[in-house]
Chains A and B, each alone.
Chain A
Amino acid sequence: MTIGTVAACLPLVAALLFARVLERDWRGWGVALPAALGAMAGLSSVVFWLLLVAPIESRAHLVAIDATAWMGLTMVLAWRAFVRGASLRADRDSAPVPMSGVRRVPVGVWLAATLALALAAVALVRVAASAATLPHGEWDAWAMWNARARAIAIGYPSAWRPVVHAMPHPDYPLLLPVLIARFWIDLGRETVAVPIAVAAAFGAATVVLAACSVGRRHGAARGWLTAAILLASPAFLTAAVSQYADVPLAFYWLAAFVACDQAMRSRRPIWWAAVGLSLTLAAWTKDEGIAMLLLAVVTLGVCMGGSRASGRMARVAWFAAGALPAVVAVASFRYLMPGPSYLFSHLSFADVIARVRSLARWRTVAEAMGGEIWLGGAARIGILPITAVVAVALGRPRHWPSAGVVAAVCVAGMLAIDAGVYLLLSPNLVWHLSTSVDRVIVQLTPAAVWTLLTLAGPSPHATT
């Protein structure tokens, strides 16, 4: 085993340890493990980006320094997990022994689980078939993300920067290309298996994270139902197998809301670091992440306004600590490789005023976004209206979960921002909508499903 293979695997080990740090109870690993995997994948992209732009002249040194950094982080996390493990054993020794006996699994759980597993099997076939027929992904995947990854992996140390800067949309952030390039450089060969696996892993992690989070709060039946709903989304599956960055972005937004929920419920401050990390990793994935970051910070600030000042400061400190690495990555990317934005490069104030006054633009945007929210890639009705119906049928919650409210405000706000971008900034509206509105809705779909099913009334099988 070479040092590159070790370096490639170390974030996986770190993710297992970070999951242990996040969640001491194995039953909570359905939430902690996908959250930790996504966090460490994003963090590996951040660390590697900083090494790419550092004055390191050889590929071997790059891999060695990266491996050393990850070994250090892994040791820190192992120490934290070991300390937590010791305290867990002490807790377990003093905890009352649970009563033994066989619990009957309700019929609703069986039905929802059967539906979810059947849809998961279909999704697995789709991933395998798409990996064989579209190994390089769809157009935007190879033109934007995988082309940058190739330029970085093959062009390091000197040739990659001008090429990446000259590619279409030079302002797009680099989480996905750097993550893929890191694997290619570490493994010493470039294989399409890496972007395929990365895309599939983000898609699977999104489904598992949403399902387990809803399941922990409202019981297994609703957790399985959440998985079934996401797996029944044609647009989500298509985006996942197309290797687009929209599914990683959707994952990080969902992870931020789930971490927020965990932080508010468990009162463990490490989850606030996960909130900050997830939101900023979203900003390192796509530009939309910056808008959501600002929106979430304002919403969280308003929601926390009534809490005690000392507790608030501690939460802000943990959030900032989690946010710092990806903020450094985004800031250094903007500073070192400034690129014009497609939306802002030819914008004038007169254009904006004319577009606001155009009723036809308002109608076109509303029809396109409304149609996509209704259908989501399906022929008659998509998962979002179905989830809304399910949420209404489940009734009002006894208590409004704060994280659910934060997520609802952020998802609605992001939809409004997306609509505003189309309305005010798009120079070629019909083409822009036809090529991107499906992905804009996919970005918000997991968070919207999670929000609706978290906010809706409690299940009779609720667990705490």
Chain B
Amino acid sequence: MLLWPAATVYHDTAWAMHVWTRLRQTHRAAPDSADDATNRALIPYLPREGPIGFSVASVGARPSADQLRIEQFLQYSLAPRLLVLSTNQAFVLEYVAPDASVSLAHDPTFALVASSGDRLRLFRRVRR
């Protein structure tokens, strides 16, 4: 009888092995490690601690599960800085979603400091 649940364990393991093998064949890091490295590439431009603004350049008022994941993973990558969903900070990180029509890049009160990857930009407030 144990072979029934054990078969699921085997399938889960085989899938994890498959993904691992594909990552090694393509010489790529795990997706989360790549995202973490992208996010942490901005650390030299950020203060050591304190709040950092965060905004998603996207359509739609409600944050989707994807946006929540992006925000929480950024918080994980940039800890102990505190990510706050606001543009009213000295430094603001902007995640540019594929459907973005507006961005802080068009806002004269912000200046681009650095960008990392295709989607992540760091802005500094230049005037109130």
Which chain A residue has the least Cβ–Cβ distance from B49?
A: A159
Distance between B67 CB and nearest chain A CB, rounded to angstroms? 13
- The CA of A168 and the CA of B59, in the complex, are separated in Å by 24
User: Given the interface contacts A133-B16, A134-B32, does A377 sit within 8 Å of B8 by beta carbon?
Assistant: yes
Contact A143 B73 (CB under 8 A): yes
B17 within 8 A of A: yes
A321 within 8 A of B: no
A139 within 8 A of B: yes
What residues of chain B lie closer than 8 Å to A134, measured between beta carbons?
Answer: 30, 32
Which chain A residue has the least Cβ–Cβ distance from B10?
A: A122
Which chain B residue has the least Cβ–Cβ distance from A241?
A: B16
State which of B8, B33, B81 has its C-beta within 8 Å of the C-beta of A163. B81
Contact B2 A232 (CB under 8 A): yes
Which chain A residue has the least Cβ–Cβ distance from B50?
A: A159
User: Given the interface contacts A129-B19, A381-B4, does A163 sit within 8 Å of B82 by beta carbon?
Assistant: yes
- The CA of A315 and the CA of B98, in the complex, are separated in Å by 64
Which B residues from 1 to 21 make CB contacts under 8 A with A?
Answer: 1-2, 4-10, 12-13, 16-17, 19-20
State which of B19, B23, B48 has its C-beta within 8 Å of the C-beta of A159. B48
What residues of chain B lie closer than 8 Å to A386, measured between beta carbons?
Answer: 1-2, 4-5
State which of B2, B12, B33, B72 has its C-beta within 8 Å of the C-beta of A168. B72
- The CA of A148 and the CA of B76, in the complex, are separated in Å by 8
Per-residue B-contact encoding for A53-81, CB less than 8 Å = 1, 0 else:
00000000000000000000000000000
B87 within 8 A of A: no
State which of B4, B12, B79, B80 has its C-beta within 8 Å of the C-beta of A237. B12
- The CA of A58 and the CA of B49, in the complex, are separated in Å by 17
Contact B20 A133 (CB under 8 A): yes
State which of B12, B20, B49 has its C-beta within 8 Å of the C-beta of A155. B49
Contact A379 B7 (CB under 8 A): yes
Distance between A129 CB and nearest chain B CB, rounded to angstroms? 4
A90 within 8 A of B: no
Which chain A residue has the least Cβ–Cβ distance from B35?
A: A136
B119 within 8 A of A: no
What residues of chain A lie closer than 8 Å to B73, measured between beta carbons?
Answer: 142-143
Contact B2 A229 (CB under 8 A): yes
B75 within 8 A of A: yes
A231 within 8 A of B: yes
Which A residues from 109 to 168 make CB contacts under 8 A with B?
Answer: 115, 119, 122-123, 125-126, 128-130, 132-136, 139, 142-143, 146-148, 150-152, 154-155, 158-160, 162-163, 166-168
Tally of B interface residues using CB under 8 Å? 32
Distance between B37 CB and nearest chain A CB, rounded to angstroms? 11
Distance between A350 CB and nearest chain B CB, rounded to angstroms? 27
A238 within 8 A of B: yes
Contact B9 A237 (CB under 8 A): yes
User: Given the interface contacts A134-B32, A139-B69, A229-B2, does A159 sit within 8 Å of B80 by beta carbon?
Assistant: yes
User: Given the interface contacts A129-B19, A133-B19, A143-B72, does A122 sit within 8 Å of B80 by beta carbon?
Assistant: no
What residues of chain A lie closer than 8 Å to B13, measured between beta carbons?
Answer: 122-123, 125-126, 129
State which of B9, B12, B82 has its C-beta within 8 Å of the C-beta of A162. B82
- The CA of A380 and the CA of B11, in the complex, are separated in Å by 14
Contact B49 A167 (CB under 8 A): no
A233 within 8 A of B: yes
What residues of chain B lie closer than 8 Å to A160, measured between beta carbons?
Answer: 80
Distance between A334 CB and nearest chain B CB, rounded to angstroms? 22
A28 within 8 A of B: no
State which of A132, A150, A155, A231 has its C-beta within 8 Å of the C-beta of B9. A231
A40 within 8 A of B: no
Contact B79 A133 (CB under 8 A): no
Which chain A residue has the least Cβ–Cβ distance from B17?
A: A129
Contact B5 A383 (CB under 8 A): yes
Contact B12 A238 (CB under 8 A): yes
State which of A128, A129, A382 has its C-beta within 8 Å of the C-beta of B5. A382
What residues of chain B lie closer than 8 Å to A151, measured between beta carbons?
Answer: 79-80
Contact B49 A234 (CB under 8 A): no
Which A residues from 363 to 405 make CB contacts under 8 A with B?
Answer: 376-383, 386, 389
Distance between A204 CB and nearest chain B CB, rounded to angstroms? 15
- The CA of A285 and the CA of B6, in the complex, are separated in Å by 29
- The CA of A275 and the CA of B54, in the complex, are separated in Å by 46
* 9 residue pairs bridging A and B, Cβ less than 8 Å apart: A123-B9, A132-B30, A158-B49, A162-B82, A231-B9, A376-B5, A378-B5, A379-B7, A386-B2
Binding site for B on A (CB under 8 A): 115, 119, 122-123, 125-126, 128-130, 132-136, 139, 142-143, 146-148, 150-152, 154-155, 158-160, 162-163, 166-168, 192, 228-229, 231-234, 237-238, 241, 376-383, 386, 389
Known: A136-B30, A163-B79; 6 extra A-B contacts, CB below 8 A, are A122-B10, A123-B9, A142-B72, A231-B9, A377-B5, A383-B2
